[in-house]
Structure 1
Amino acid sequence: MNKKWIISISISLLIWTSGSIGYFYLKDRVANQVYAESPILKRDTDVPTLKTEVNLKEIIRETQKKVVMVELDDGTVGSGFLYNNNGDIITNAHVVSGATDVKIRTTDAKGYEGKVIGLSMETDIAVVRVEGLKDQPPLEISVNRKLEIGDEILALGSPLGLQNTVTTGIISGTDRELDIAPYKYENVYQISAPIAPGNSGGPLIDRQTGHVIGINSARLEQGSIGFSIPINTVLPLVNSWSETPMKNLPDISKLDGADEIDENKVLETADYLVSYFNESLTYRDYVTAYSMLGSDWQSKVSYEEFRNQYLNTLSLKIEELKINSQNGHVDVETVITAQERENEKKIQSTYRIHYEIAFENEQARIISEKKELLK
């Protein structure tokens, strides 16, 4: 009897142990299968990832080599960029208006002779052929890429004759339309990067690829809003001039509203000049700020005296800016908040400053300022 009891207990223990082991084995196996990474969701390591953005400094360095300054005999300047192996430069029509031969200056300070071979009376586009740049590698152009609001861009050119200038921003609007006599701008990009006279004709660069996607062409005085013509909308016209240069260029000066171009340029220059002047002081770039002064002002104030006036200025912010133009006289009225250091303490002051703008040797300069402390 005892022997049967022992056998019964042993069999029961064997069954119980086998069942427990089987339960935990199945439990772990099923759990591993349930929570294992699904082959459907598993990332395919063979699928190529998106190409990393090109380094910003690399984009700027490579692009600047192919961006040029366009100079006319009257001293006015604009920008352009090399777009093919024929030595052809794309720029704005208003940059080379009235000229047949222009001077081209590259970023390494080399000068070349250029000839206008294409000029539109409707679209603000022109082409200049520079034999000295023939067979040089041009900028790459994105024909099919259409940027959207928020995409990052770079604008290159020579604002106020300051070559190699780069400004950054985003696409802040698309398919914009505006009229700046005598041209009509349709389906253009609105950009946040600052545009000023001298920038016109320079390339708009896609930050992601480093390729040209537009031509910087216009700017509204209010809000520093810039506009760029999409490159793909004008390439057919540009290509036709490159293949068959125009023998006779149209006279844009005879178009209605052509006289407004110069007036707009003066007003835009005044706005940009004052903004850039105060920005240079904020960044303690006194050399650049001093170079914006007129010759009469510079003859009365040395660079050292000018610099010493702003050593205790920490920052300058333009709160209001209004331009008054009458009979060739341009006055820029500003309200500026200044962070200053006084007796080792930081104080904030508000000034009303009037800047008088005039042209010397075809370049805009600040010839005087009148400052009033408001608070």
Structure 2
Amino acid sequence: MKNKHFILAIVTSVLLLLFGAIGYFFIHKHFEQYKVVKASAIVKIDKTTPDAQPKKKTLKTIIYDSEKAVVQIQVELVDSQVIGSGFLYNSKGDIITNAHVVQGAKTVTIKTSDAQTYVGKVIGIGDKTDVAVVRVDKMAGMTPLPIDTKGKADVGDEVIALGSPLGFQNTVTTGIISGTDRQFTIDPFSYDHVYQISAPITHGNSGGPLINKETGKVLAINSAGMDEGNIAFSIPISEVIDQVHSWSKSPQSIDGINGTGSSANDVEEGEALKSDAENLVNYFYESLNSHDYVAAYTLLGSDWQNKVSYDKFRKGYLPTLQASIEDLKSSLSSDGKKATVTIRLSALEQTDDGNKQTVNYSVTYTIGYENDQLRLFEGKGKVIKD
């Protein structure tokens, strides 16, 4: 009897071990694709959740970021001058503009939003399509504007037009797409499938970008406007981008264009230097107001940078919440090589105790060229007590 119980116990034990082994085998096979890791105290948020979505850019931010790649184009013809606009579209230093802006150009001078001046060369120009490409070797590597080559704008889409109407650089107008697939002819150019926009544009706007307010990407090239009413027309970038890429890859040799002319510094002599110096100071404070301290710091001359480190520069402006230029005057040095710009500045500042106060300053800047780039050499300021 005892032997029977002993044998039964052995059999039972063997069966339990057998079933356990089989169970382990199936469980291991089922879960082997899952990796067990240590639990983290930090919750990883799914990037698709609303809280983790990228923060939508404000209109002010879109304008500031876009202006860096929008340029004024000054074209010297045989007996006249033309002013237009353009925008950087790739890392080669290639700028898209209208063909009618650079048609017959002897020299092409490019002015950026930070008041730098470069010499450009037309590397592609349409004969029937009003588009052209200007290459600026010294702008290679700069950040271009993002371009929407596949999207199609709809009536009602909000847009931003940037350019230099009547020579006023860094001008912004807003509106909507008020019509699509418009067609007309302004000899020798044919405009097909263009957008009609309500954003006002005029002479000098030609060649500038039309930007989607929602995405911040370039939709079209501002090309023509009507004298009456807020009606203007822009060429969709998708209609011309293949041709633009072709010119960038294989630049044209164009007869009667890109003739020998004055250098960038020659162009800047005299009153033009005053205007550019004023633009530089304005851009300096635009950068500070956008908290782009790196861009502002790069505008300082090397001597100033040697005296003030970037960290010290940034720390000095952190309490300044907003700075507004209320008055600006400029003059040239006796040799015409430097400009002096004096401004009255109203600054909203945060105090050490967390309160806010408005302080008025008088600041005088000395501005000139360093390695062919316009720079702030010196700045002296004092508090104005009304």
TM-score (structure 1 length as normaliser): 0.53
Distance between the aligned counterparts of 1:51 and 1:148, measured in 2? 24
Pick from 227, 230, 252: which aligns with 1:221?
A: 227
* Aligned-pair CA distance for 1:51: 6.0
Q: How does 1:93-172 map to 2 (within 5 A)?
A: 93-172=99-178
- 1:184 partnered with 2:190: yes
Unaligned runs of 5+ in 1: 1-44, 252-286, 289-375
Partner of 1:63: 66
Distance between the aligned counterparts of 1:249 and 1:174, measured in 2? 35
Q: Is the 8 A contact 2:75 2:106 kept in 1?
A: no
Q: Is the 8 A contact 1:79 1:198 kept in 2?
A: yes
* Aligned-pair CA distance for 1:47: 5.7
Unaligned runs of 5+ in 2: 1-45, 258-326, 329-386
Q: Is the 8 A contact 1:205 1:211 kept in 2?
A: yes
AA aligned to 1:72 is V
- Cα 1:128–1:46 shift into 2, 3 Å: closer
- Cα 1:181–1:55 shift into 2, 3 Å: same
Q: How does 1:254-333 map to 2 (within 5 A)?
A: none
Partner of 1:76: 82
Q: Is the 8 A contact 1:101 1:116 kept in 2?
A: no
Q: Over residues 180-239 of structure 1, what are the superposed CA-to-partner deviations in whole Å (9 max), with x where a residue is unaligned?
A: 121110001100000101000000000001111100001122323100000011000000
Q: Is the 8 A contact 2:147 2:217 kept in 1?
A: yes
Q: Is the 8 A contact 1:71 1:103 kept in 2?
A: yes
Q: Is the 8 A contact 2:166 2:202 kept in 1?
A: yes
- Between the aligned residues of both structures, percent identity stands at 53
AA aligned to 2:224 is A
* Aligned-pair CA distance for 1:249: 4.5
Larger radius of gyration: 1
Aligned residues: 210
AA aligned to 1:171 is I
- RMSD over aligned CA atoms reads 2.2
Distance between the aligned counterparts of 1:179 and 1:233, measured in 2? 16
* Aligned-pair CA distance for 1:101: 3.0
Pick from 54, 59, 62: which aligns with 2:57?
A: 54
Partner of 2:203: 197
- Cα 1:63–1:249 shift into 2, 3 Å: farther
Distance between the aligned counterparts of 2:59 and 2:84, measured in 1? 24
3-state secondary structure, aligned to 2:229: helix
AA aligned to 1:151 is D
TM-score (structure 2 length as normaliser): 0.52
* Aligned-pair CA distance for 1:100: 4.7
- Cα 1:181–1:163 shift into 2, 3 Å: same
Runs of 4 or more consecutive aligned structure 1 residues displaced over 4 Å after TM superposition: 45-52
AA aligned to 1:238 is V
